[in-house]
Amino acid sequence: MKYIYIKTWGCQMNEYDSSMIANLLIQEKKYLLTTSVEQADILILNTCSIREKAQEKLFHQLGRWKKIKNNNPNIIIAVGGCVANQEGKKIFKRAHYVDIIFGTQTLHKLPKMISEIEKNKKHSIDISFPKLEKFKYFLEPKKIGYTANVSIMEGCNKYCSFCIVPYTRGHELSRPCDDILFEISILAKQGVREINLLGQNVNAYKGLNSNGHICRFSQLIRLVATIDGIDRIRFITSHPIEFTDDIIELYKDIPKLVSFLHLPVQSGSNKILKLMRRSYTVEEYKLIIEKLMVVRPNIQISSDFIVGFPGESEKDFQKTMSFIKNINFDMSFSFIYSSRPGTPASKIKDHIDIKEKKKRLFILQNRINIQTMLWSRKMFGSIQSILVEGISNKNIMELCGRTENNRIVSFLGSPKMIGKFVNLKITKIHTHSLKGELI
């Protein structure tokens, strides 16, 4: 028996890709998955290039694995994901002990690449962009919980000035509608109750159905909602420019669609949004939220924010802070701007001191944390529907589950409830979690 170890960095798309890799190697090569680096015969690193110095993070990790390979030269080291697409053969030059480099769109070739390495002991690289070819190697998914991620599309055409995704994931390509529904149906039969649809820009989805007609994102959601066993639907990530009225209507018609939306805005300043090439204004974003509030008054919004983008003045930052308060965002992913190689923003002169950037980030995150707690306090005494996911990590005598608005709730209950929905009364509020009692 041979063992594979997979280390994954980055977004849920990468997590989904890693699950595909594991599935492929287990079923095609009869390998076993291990959580021990020392036990592994094959070490796979699935990388992310969103954050600053992603390349250095990669080589630091490879340096640790080099010591393992020195002790066992037969170990195969493979690097995939966005940094693999970004750096390509440069990885071999800095880390000659790496055996395989595969891209975001060529992970399905990994079994063959491994066989070639075992036979010829030569480096192997494939970071090409075959159109959705990896999904043609679809194998029956294996349930690992009662919620599941399903990728519906790849790539992005927006080319925001700060973002490297279009260069590492390629252009927008949508999976056929029937393939997605088939995958979700299998998961539902296995006991999955909640589906999270994934894509760099899910609301740009335009997949073909069996009749050869285009299925829009709103139509796909309606079809997913008809699948028996699926009781909750989420999706991530959306772009405001394509958050159209037919998607907003879903929140009126589809109760299975959660009352929680992650919709990245990045900045509350129109000047900065223009520099970012986001193609919408603060006012247009606010109009989307207002329309959503009409059809789903209890919806909560989370977002992404980039602080210290080149050209961001104190006035621009204060506009962002006012916007955060005005929309009353529940949560956020917020970061200091980091230049990504090859992006248009990397050519803009950055005059903002790092201390000032850190200060702005602290202020922004503190404001969001306050709003998160205020939203949680509104839940005190309320009745919430919880999908019970398992035993609590903090107390083995308790179960835990997740609310529609992404709060973890722990409570006393029977293990027979795992995988089912229960109603809880929220009795305690903590910074990052809640306590509840069974109704």
- Name the token pair of 275: 């520099």
**215 annotated as a binding-site residue:** no
Strands 206-208, 214-216: parallel, antiparallel or unpaired by DSSP?
antiparallel
**156 annotated as a binding-site residue:** yes
- Distance (Å, whole) CA 357 – CA 335: 9
335 to each of 51, 217, 300, how far by Cα in Å?
9, 29, 21
Q: Minimal CA–CA distance to 328: which of 276, 365, 282, 372? A: 372
130 to each of 105, 133, 201, 362, how far by Cα in Å?
6, 6, 19, 42
- Distance (Å, whole) CA 262 – CA 329: 10
Q: How many C-beta atoms lie closer than 10 Å to residue 361's C-beta? A: 18
- Distance (Å, whole) CA 371 – CA 368: 5
Edge-to-edge order in the sheet of strand 3-8: 32-33, 3-8, 42-47, 76-81, 100-102, 124-126
Paired residues of 233 in beta bridges: 195, 257
Burial class (CB in 10 A: 0-12, 13-18, 19+), 213: exposed
- Name the token pair of 356: 């000032």
Are 209 and 179 within 8 A, CB to CB? no
Place of tokens 């999706």: 235
Run of H or E residues at 233: strand 232-236
**160 annotated as a binding-site residue:** yes
- Distance (Å, whole) CA 22 – CA 322: 45
- Distance (Å, whole) CA 311 – CA 365: 21
One-character DSSP codes across 15-63: HHHHHHHHHHHHHHS--EE-S-TTT-SEEEEEE--SSTTHHHHHHHHHH
- Name the token pair of 288: 């989307």
Annotated binding site: 11, 48, 82, 156, 160, 163
Annotated binding site for [4Fe-4S] cluster: 11, 48, 82, 156, 160, 163
